[in-house]
Homo-oligomer: A and B are copies of this chain.
């Protein structure tokens, strides 16, 4: 029987994004050099996270408290909601310390090819949050892709009747980005939205 403890573990690890079979094997070898300090803590952390982490009932963020730490933080601006595609984007914005309001996780983007329609996204819960009347601004922090633009368009339509201000992220040259390696679309958008200095 070749399907033993090591092969099984390598197989599971290699399914993680960013880890191929080769790096999974290296990781397992490294951990096997000292299983009590390198392997068991990871097993415990996985079990703990699996039992503790749940989607936030308000915004859809993943956290070990529910509502999540963002939603339950009274210091956050309660009147600004930033709409994101997924939890990864929410975490990225949190790391940037750029947004001091709340979030709403859509759980995807509208996609004709992928067969994702409005009912598949967390739009109804968003409308319910807005119906409470406390929100002044909704920021559409969606990717500058075809699906992102389509989703922003549909959301803007749905939100038009609520009286809430709708904004979107600025598009232009990334900080630190060299102009000669930028794609034409970004260059054109940056030029069109140029600002006086």
**Which residue numbers of A lie inside 8 Å of B, CB to CB?**
4-6, 8-9, 12-13, 15-19, 23, 25-32, 35-36, 38-53, 62-65, 69, 86-88, 91
Residues of B with C-beta under 8 A to A48: 5, 8-9
Q: Are A42 and B27 in contact (CB under 8 A)?
A: no
Q: Do B13 and A42 touch (CB < 8 A)?
A: yes
Q: Is the CB of B87 within 8 A of A53?
A: no
Chain B residues near A13 (CB, 8 Å)?
A: 42
Q: Which residues of B contact A65 (CB under 8 A)?
A: 4
A16 neighbours in B (Cβ, 8 Å): 27, 30-31
A18 nearest CB across to chain B (Å)? 3
B9 and A46 form a contact (CB under 8 A): yes
Q: Smallest distance from the beta carbon of A95 to chain B beta carbons, Å?
A: 9
A53:B5 contact, CB within 8 angstroms: yes
B28–A49 touching, CB < 8 Å: yes
A-B contact pairs, 21 of them (CB 8 A): A4-B64, A4-B65, A5-B45, A5-B52, A5-B64, A6-B62, A6-B63, A8-B45, A8-B48, A9-B45, A9-B48, A15-B38, A19-B23, A26-B88, A29-B86, A29-B88, A31-B46, A35-B49, A35-B50, A39-B46, A40-B46
Given known A-B contacts A43-B50, A46-B40, A32 and B62 have beta carbons under 8 A apart: yes
How many copies of the shown chain assemble into the complex? Answer: 2
Closest to A43 in B: B46
User: Is B29 touching A40 in the complex (CB atoms < 8 A)?
Assistant: no
Given A6-B62, A26-B88, A88-B25, CB of A36 within 8 Å of CB of B50? yes
Q: Which residues of B contact A4 (CB under 8 A)?
A: 52, 63-65, 69
CA A106 to CA B163, docked complex, whole Å = 73
Cα distance, A18 to B126, chains bound together (Å):
38
Of B23, B50, B62, which one neighbours A40 at CB under 8 angstroms?
A: B50
Using CB atoms, name the residue of chain B closest to A95.
B25
